[in-house]
Amino acid sequence: MLQILASRGDLVLLRDSVEWEGRSLLKALIREVALKGEQVQVLGCEVSEEVFREGLDSDTNSRLVYHDIFRDPQGWTGNWGPLGILRACLRGAEPGPCTLAVDSLSWLLLHAPCSALCQTLRALGHDNSHPGRVRVLGLLHEDVHGPGPLGALRSLAQIEVTVGGNLGFTTAQVFHPKPRHRSIEQTYWFSILPNFSLEFHKEPLLEPRPHRGPQSPTVDAMADLTFNVHLSKKEREARDTLALPFHFSSEKQQSLLHPALASSTSQIFYEPDADDYLDQEDPDDDLDI
């Protein structure tokens, strides 16, 4: 999981759903990044700042730079729309590796055109003042959107993390597509502690699933044959060396060019039966040709 934090890809998409929320994972990742000493810019749209900061320790909180849209969602106090604020997030940041957490992209998708959002995200990732060192962690609620915007953001993202839950543990399926069957796809099982640190577990053993039903015994068709189907080794060799009848080999060519003399091996033996009438006359003599 920590490899996500190590990579400097542009956009990491955290997809959650109604069944299992992903904000706690986002906060846990922010905490990991902040513990390394980096500053984290947070754009908060869905929850207020107090709610977001709650649970994080003071060290992390001091490194969070919070840009609040929740206080003023319609932008009545400022001149910029939500995308303007998104772009302004990185302006005051210190130079160096930078992380921007967006909570959430769904809110931005609902309040701005999708193509403009994609262009802004791409421009953020390739910001000139932080060349190649910006990482954007975006939270996306996938059941809010149709396949269009979802597909557009997925094609823009380098890494996708799908948050789910099973058997009391949180799972994160990380997918990083790469060519030639080398795409990384891995599932992590962990639980998020109250202070938003991650505790990883090994994949719990699944209970043995019940059999789908008694399977019919496969009949071995080769069992009780009265003739031999298998070939011994000698027989196999003999079969391999056999010349196929329609292969025009040189021996065949020779035999055709020089027809063998009528060999004495083929003869017809005739024994006349009692009922046979052997007439020496040729019945065709009557014909008048």
Cα–Cα distance for residue pair 86/118, rounded to 1 Å: 12
- The nearer residue to other proteins, 1 or 152, going by C-beta atoms, is 152
Task: Dig out the tokens for 142 from the structure.
Answer: 């996938």
- The nearer residue to other proteins, 148 or 168, going by C-beta atoms, is 148
The terminus-to-terminus CA distance of the chain in angstroms comes to 105
- The nearer residue to other proteins, 209 or 258, going by C-beta atoms, is 209
Contacting residue, 1, 88, 90, 118, with other proteins by CB under 8 A: 118
Residue span 44-83 as binding mask against other proteins, x where in contact by CB under 8 A, dash where not:
-------------------------------------x-x
Q: Which residue do the tokens 């995200």 mark?
A: 121
Task: Dig out the tokens for 85 from the structure.
Answer: 């604020």
For position 90 contacting other proteins by CB under 8 A, the verdict is no
Residues 199-258 that bind other proteins (CB under 8 A): 218, 221-222, 244, 247
In angstroms, what is the minimal distance from the CB of 247 to other proteins?
Answer: 7
Cα–Cα distance for residue pair 172/219, rounded to 1 Å: 44
Task: Dig out the tokens for 275 from the structure.
Answer: 């009922």
Cα–Cα distance for residue pair 116/196, rounded to 1 Å: 33
- The nearer residue to other proteins, 84 or 204, going by C-beta atoms, is 84
Task: Dig out the tokens for 91 from the structure.
Answer: 């302006």
Q: Which stretch of DSSP H or E encloses residue 275?
A: none
Q: Is 90 helix (H, G, I), strand (E, B) or coil?
A: coil
Stretch that binds other proteins, among 1-9, 66-74, 142-150, 187-195 (CB under 8 A): 142-150
- The nearer residue to other proteins, 202 or 239, going by C-beta atoms, is 239
Task: Output DSSP code: residue 237.
Answer: H
Q: Is 99 helix (H, G, I), strand (E, B) or coil?
A: strand
In angstroms, what is the minimal distance from the CB of 151 to other proteins?
Answer: 5
Instruction: Give the interface with other proteins as residue ranges (CB under 8 A).
Output: 81, 83, 87, 112-120, 122-123, 146-149, 151-152, 155-156, 175, 177-181, 183, 185, 218, 221-222, 244, 247
